[in-house]
């Protein structure tokens, strides 16, 4: 759809920027509010944003924001799952 390589690069990098900035806050939010709530909220957010991408993906700046939001929602996933694993195996000690 976007044939200009610079626009493609910016749109693809939006996901990774969002992913990068949300990894540490994802684990912190899981320890503060509970991993189930935070992970469920993240899954709901990235699902809704993915659905919105179908309708608003033709406008580059809206697609950039949507991809950034998907990256933010998916970025915390790894740290939240790791928090759940450590808590279930009793490795995590407060």
Give yes or no for residue 28 having a pLDDT over 60. Answer: yes
Q: Are 76 and 25 in contact (CB under 8 A)?
A: yes
Is residue 93 included in any domain, yes or no?
no
pTM for the model: 0.85
Specify if 30 maps to a domain. yes
Report the domain count for the chain: 1
pLDDT at 77 over 80: yes
- Domain that includes residue 50, residue range: 5-88
Helix, strand, coil percentages (3-state) for the chain, rounded to 5, are 85, 0, 15
CA distances to 27, 41, 43, 49, 57 from 36, rounded to whole Å, are 12, 8, 11, 20, 30
What's the rounded mean pLDDT across residues 57-74? 93
Tokens for 42, please give them.
Answer: 């993240």
Share of the chain above pLDDT 70, in %: 96
Q: Does residue 94 belong to any structural domain of this protein? A: no
Q: What is the pLDDT of residue 13?
A: 94
Which residue, 25, 68, 23, 73, is CA-closest to 47? 73
pLDDT value at residue 57: 85
């Amino acid at each position: 759809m976007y044939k200009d390589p610079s626009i493609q690069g910016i749109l693809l990098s939006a996901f990774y920027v969002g992913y990068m900035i949300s990894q540490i806050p994802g684990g912190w939010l899981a320890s503060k509010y509970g991993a189930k709530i935070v992970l469920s909220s993240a899954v709901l957010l990235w699902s809704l944003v993915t659905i919105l991408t179908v309708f608003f993906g033709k406008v580059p700046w809206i697609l950039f924001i949507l991809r950034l939001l998907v990256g933010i929602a998916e970025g915390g996933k790894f740290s939240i799952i790791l928090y759940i694993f450590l808590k279930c195996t009793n490795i995590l000690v407060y």
